[in-house]
Structure 1
Amino acid sequence: MTHTPQVVKPAQWHQAIESSKEKFSGSGLDFKQEQIFATQQLMNNSYLLDVAKNNPSSLRLAMYNVAAVGLTLNPNQGLAYLVPRRLRRNEDAKVMLDISYRGLIAIGVETGAIRWAKAELVYENDEFTYKGPADKPDHKCDPFSTDRGAIRGGYCLAELPSGGVLVEAMSKADMDKIRDVSEAFKKGFGPWVDWAEQMMLKSIVKRASKWWPMSTPRMARALQILNEENGEGLAVLANNVVSPAALPAPPPRDEVSIAVQNTVKQLVDRAVQQNAFEACKEVMESRIKQPAELAWALDELEKARTECNSDISDQAVNS
């Protein structure tokens, strides 16, 4: 009597990875390699594997996102990871793609927006002098010290293809605002609880990347994954800004504080230099709380945008 060999069907989580194969066409990644890296991460993390077994569709979507942003899951590079995460306690856990701040920088480098970038945290016992958005700050510290004090803030320094630099500084208060709108953090769990310093660095790079020229769909998708799908906070803040329609008419310049005038001038000059008007608008909306002053700031930005567009049109006509 002969026995027909039993066909063992692949596990659903394995099928979920395999079903994402076509998405990797044109991604710049080798699907077979990413399949191996994904499988290794699952096999090395029993909780992640359980989540993938219970929710294989979330694993498939996470692999789609790997292809969309073009970041390898190679653990030696530390650019992106598959992680189990719940945005709310009463929800089932999902497999999600987590992108490190190094991953965001890698996208900027690979797409030609920047040559390199580095994010650093600044502590109370460090010596730090901010010199503006286009000059390297002075940051002196003992990286081996175990007593650098509490975190004051951080910054991202990026070199542009032109050789110039862009510096984005973020206070601890701004980091806390981002953290505090994370639904997971409100419930006492999630990456802001488990990996606070890494999340601070990521928040700095996210905001800095908006000023980098040559924004690409890859970067936009990466930020969308982190902010909206992974619930890291910035998307919520963006939705909480004052609607322009609700703002009063811009007041005369002499009714705006000198401090706000100086801040707005720096931001507008930076927007013109980097052609980053939308990024400047977001920064103004997040930093300037007084409605009349915000209305004045946005009006100044729009004037600069109009003048810049006019200059470009004149150059095109004369060329």
Structure 2
Amino acid sequence: MTSTQAVATMDWKTAISTSESKFKEFNTLDFSQEQIFATQLMKNNDYLLQTAKKDPTSLKLALYNVAAIGLSLHPSSGLAYLIPRKGKIIVDISYRGLIKLGVESGAIRWAKAELVYAQDSFTYHGPAEKPTHNYDPFESNRGELRGGYCIAELASGGFLVEAMSKADMDKIRNSSEAFKKKSGPWVEWEDQMQLKSIVKRAYKWWPSSNYRMAEAVRILNEDNEEGLSSIKESVSTVVSLPEPPRPEDVSTKVVSFVNQLVVRAIDTGAYEASKELARSRLTNLSDLSYALNEIGRAATDQGQYDNSVVAEIMPNS
């Protein structure tokens, strides 16, 4: 029998049972339990079952991904799910699942993501202090969405806070191929995707990550087409940056922003994430040159790497 014939004759139950090898390879979950959860999901959702019958290979690959990220399909945990999309079975990961990976990696003790609405009382106190966020949890109409934030307690103590505006959420949403076709999770569960976007950005600042976190993000970005990766615009050219200006020649607002980036980079070791954030926020090339130079100097002082920023790839406007 050829490999093509084997695929054609494999049923959904066989697809589940033959995924056991991956669970043994990664050794993060009990396959016997996950087999039960996957079977229950199939039998409780006829659309999911019919999709699995038509493409059992996609079900097997989805379970490979479950094994790789180590997030259980237990229905009550709300960490990961098997869902049908575009005629295939994929594994979906909740923002709670991403947080669990951060905790299990040892990067953080806990994290919480919240959305902020117009009628909420919200004050941001910087990237290392808890924000003040007051609202009535029983009020169903809190006004228009303004943005959101994720607060994480570091394993070493202290907090990291990542805030994201509604405009940035929309940019991520609009980069999703599924959303462009008016389908997918951004259409069906927008608030959950907004929370997931915040957590995805926040995790870059957590002191450590591991293969499971990286694989989870890859699955969300590539397999699930959620557009959660760093927003990538079409590139037009490589632009030489001007010489970094002196601090007194830069606006106080930019200096303050860059100082915060430098402090965060030193505290967390996330120098590349700091540079990425500078690139996303600073459109003036002189300001960007100053920011990258300051972050690079801090990295050099901490023995991280050499500072040699001479050019930047700039997107089309």
* Pairwise TM-score range, normalised by the shorter structure: 0.7 to 0.9
Q: TM-score, normalised by structure 2?
A: 0.88
SS at match of 2:108: coil
SS at match of 2:229: helix
Alignment root-mean-square deviation, CA: 2.0
Query: Which residue of structure 2 aligns with residue 249 of structure 1?
Result: 242
CA-CA distance at 1:262 after TM superposition: 1.5
| Preserved contact between residue 220 and residue 226 of structure 2 (Cα < 8 Å) | yes
Hey, what's the Cα distance between the residues in 2 that align with 1:21 and 1:255? 61
SS at match of 1:285: helix
Query: Which residue of structure 1 aligns with residue 17 of structure 2?
Result: 18
**C-alpha distance 241-287 of structure 1, shift in aligned 2 (>3 A):** farther
Hey, what's the Cα distance between the residues in 2 that align with 1:179 and 1:106? 23
Structure 2: tracts of 5 or more residues without a match: 1-8, 306-317
Hey, what's the Cα distance between the residues in 2 that align with 1:186 and 1:170? 22
| Preserved contact between residue 115 and residue 145 of structure 2 (Cα < 8 Å) | yes
Hey, what's the Cα distance between the residues in 2 that align with 1:229 and 1:288? 31
Structure 1: tracts of 5 or more residues without a match: 1-9, 87-92, 312-319
SS at match of 1:185: helix
- Whether 1:218 aligns to 2:212 is yes
Hey, what's the Cα distance between the residues in 1 that align with 2:158 and 2:164? 20
Query: Which residue of structure 1 aligns with residue 31 of structure 2?
Result: 31
Q: How does 1:41-60 map to 2 (within 5 A)?
A: 41-60=41-60
Hey, what's the Cα distance between the residues in 2 that align with 1:218 and 1:47? 29
Runs of 4+ in 1 over 4 A off after TM superposition: 241-245
What is the number of equivalent residue pairs in this alignment? 295
| 1:77 alignment partner AA | S
Hey, what's the Cα distance between the residues in 1 that align with 2:243 and 2:236? 14
Hey, what's the Cα distance between the residues in 2 that align with 1:257 and 1:243? 28
SS at match of 1:163: coil
| 1:181 alignment partner AA | S
| 2:22 alignment partner AA | K
Hey, what's the Cα distance between the residues in 2 that align with 1:141 and 1:105? 23
Query: Which residue of structure 2 aligns with residue 3 of structure 1?
Result: none
CA-CA distance at 1:181 after TM superposition: 0.8
Hey, what's the Cα distance between the residues in 2 that align with 1:99 and 1:298? 34
CA-CA distance at 1:196 after TM superposition: 0.3
| Preserved contact between residue 217 and residue 229 of structure 2 (Cα < 8 Å) | no
**Which deviations, in whole Å up to 9, do the C-alpha atoms of 1:100-146 show, x marking residues without a partner?**
00001111111211111111111100000000111111000001002
**C-alpha distance 247-61 of structure 1, shift in aligned 2 (>3 A):** farther
| Preserved contact between residue 168 and residue 207 of structure 1 (Cα < 8 Å) | yes
Q: Identity of counterpart residues, as a percentage?
A: 59
**C-alpha distance 241-268 of structure 1, shift in aligned 2 (>3 A):** farther
Hey, what's the Cα distance between the residues in 2 that align with 1:41 and 1:170? 34
Q: What is the aligned counterpart of 2:99 among 96, 105, 113? A: 105
Farther off after superposition, 196-205 or 104-113: 104-113
Query: Which residue of structure 2 aligns with residue 192 of structure 1?
Result: 186
